[in-house]
Amino acid sequence: MRYYWYPSHLYTWRGYQPVARQIYGDTNNYYTYNYYDTSTAQLTDTYTADNFTTHETYADVRENLENQQDTTPENQQIADTYFEAGMKAFENAEYAKAAQRFEEAIKLAPEDIILPYAFSQALFADGRFEHAVQVLRTVINNLQPDQEGIYYPRGLYLDEKLLFKQIDQLADQTQRSPSNPDLQLLLGYHLLGIGEIDTSIEQFAKASQYPQNTEAATVLLRFAVELKTANDEANNN
């Protein structure tokens, strides 16, 4: 249920396409999502690494929804309630509260592979970088890349200027602590999330040299290189 009403907050690099939902606004636009197809090593349609969304007509969205099977969620659970509360807190820039709610949802739904990314994002937004990277590293170390997604919840932000400001703050701290591999891993993940692929590759390469980050950094580095290759091939065609 939690992703039935809030899929606009999920940005997928690898994995499965979430159900689209209508976004109500002055322009009456509708939100859909792209995903990275690991079987073909190409970005679907004409998307690029830093273009995670497209707008379609309502008829297109309805047709896509009708073509998807088993999209009706189960009844709302307590974890869904915590997730919704976390979403609202994040949108109000109450990042500590959002992190707490996402953590509570994780305890109730430990099998959920998306919640940890939202939890890590809230910790990052709250300036708790070390805790944020611990959560991120754990979820990436435990994932199965061919079966599960790597998510970047960029859509949590109502105003992306806040996201860019927070990334700048992380970059400044990373520059002040050039030997901190955890900050390098976290910065690489966020740079990749906003399409700064080349710079993210540099950070992953640095972070991968340290044992605690070797596994997670290698997964993200490999993926960043794949994205770069796919983009280069698309640009040359």
Whether residue 117 lies inside any domain: the answer is yes
Based on the fold, state whether residues 122 and 31 are members of the same structural domain. Answer: no
Q: How many domains does the chain have?
A: 2
User: Does 82 score more than 70 pLDDT?
Assistant: yes
**Rounded-to-integer distance, Cα 169 and Cα 150, Å:** 23
pTM (two decimals): 0.74
Strand partners, 43: 36
pLDDT tens-digit profile of 6-41?
555 555 544 333 333 333 333 332 222 222 333 322
Of the residues 23, 39, 67, which one is the last residue of a structural domain? Answer: 67
pLDDT band at 3 (very low <50, low <70, confident <90, very high): low
93 and 44 within one domain: no
| DSSP run (H or E) holding 189 | helix 181-193
Give the domain extent around 146.
78-236
Quote the CA–CA distance of 59 and 43 in Å, as a whole number.
Answer: 24
pLDDT in tens, 149-181: 688 888 888 888 999 999 999 999 999 999 999
Indicate whether 145 belongs to any domain. yes
72 domain residue, yes or no: no
Considering the domain architecture, whether residues 190 and 211 belong to the same structural domain is answered as yes
In a domain, 73, yes or no: no
Residue ending a domain, among 46, 67, 88, is 67
Whether residues 84 and 37 fall in one domain: no
Work out the average pLDDT over 85-90.
93
Q: What's the confidence (pLDDT) of residue 235? A: 85
CATH code for the domain in which residue 139 is found: 1.25.40
What pLDDT does 74 receive?
A: 63
Does residue 54 sit in the same domain as residue 139?
no
Mark whether 137 and 31 lie in a shared domain: no
Q: Is residue 232 over pLDDT 80?
A: yes
Kindly indicate the confidence band of residue 234, based on its pLDDT and cuts at 50, 70 and 90. Answer: confident
Is there a domain that residue 127 lies in?
A: yes
State which of 35, 67, 99 marks the end of a domain. Answer: 67
Q: What would the two tokens of residue 97 be?
A: 């509260």
pLDDT, one tens digit per residue, over 91-134 is 999 999 999 999 999 999 998 888 999 999 999 999 999 999 99
Domain membership of residue 128 (yes or no) is yes
